[in-house]
Amino acid sequence: MPDYGKLLRLGTEVGRWLMLSGAEIYRIEESVHRLLNAYGTYPEVFALPNCLIVCVTTEEGESMTRMVRVSAKGTDIELLERTNDLCRRLCREPAPLDEALALVDGLGDHEPHNPPWLVLVGYILTTAFFAFFFEGDVWDAIAAGLCGLAAGIAQLYGKKLMGSNLFFRTALCSVLICGLSLFLCRLGLGHSEDAVTIGGLMVLVPGMSLTNAMREIMAGDIFSGLHRFAEVILVATAIALGSVLAMILGRVV
Amino acid at 82: R
Told to check if 150 binds other proteins by CB under 8 A, we report no
Told to check if 75 binds other proteins by CB under 8 A, we report yes
Nearest to 192 by CA among 146, 242, 151, 139: 139
Told to check if 97 binds other proteins by CB under 8 A, we report no
Please answer whether residues 236 and 205 qualify as being in contact, where contact means their C-beta atoms are separated by less than 8 angstroms: yes
24 or 193: CB nearest other proteins? 24
Q: At what angle do helices 166-187 and 138-157 cross, to 10 degrees?
A: 150
Name which position in 67, 72, 77, 222 contacts other proteins (CB under 8 A).
77
Name which position in 46, 129, 167, 223 contacts other proteins (CB under 8 A).
129
Stretch (H or E) spanning 138: helix 138-157
Told to check if 149 binds other proteins by CB under 8 A, we report no
Told to check if 228 binds other proteins by CB under 8 A, we report no
Q: How many CB atoms lie within 10 A of CB 60?
A: 6
Told to check if 63 binds other proteins by CB under 8 A, we report no
Nearest to 66 by CA among 2, 14, 1, 23: 14
Question: Which range touches other proteins (CB under 8 A), out of 5-13, 20-28, 65-73, 179-187?
Answer: 20-28
Told to check if 79 binds other proteins by CB under 8 A, we report yes
DSSP 161-223: HH-S-HHHHHHHHHHHHHHHHHHHHHHTS-S-HHHHHHHHHTTT--HHHHHHHHHHHHTT-HH
Told to check if 121 binds other proteins by CB under 8 A, we report yes
Told to check if 215 binds other proteins by CB under 8 A, we report yes
- Residues in contact with other proteins by CB under 8 A are 23-24, 27, 75-81, 84-85, 112-114, 118-119, 121-130, 132-134, 198, 201-203, 205-208, 210-215, 218-219, 232-233, 236-237, 239-241, 243-244
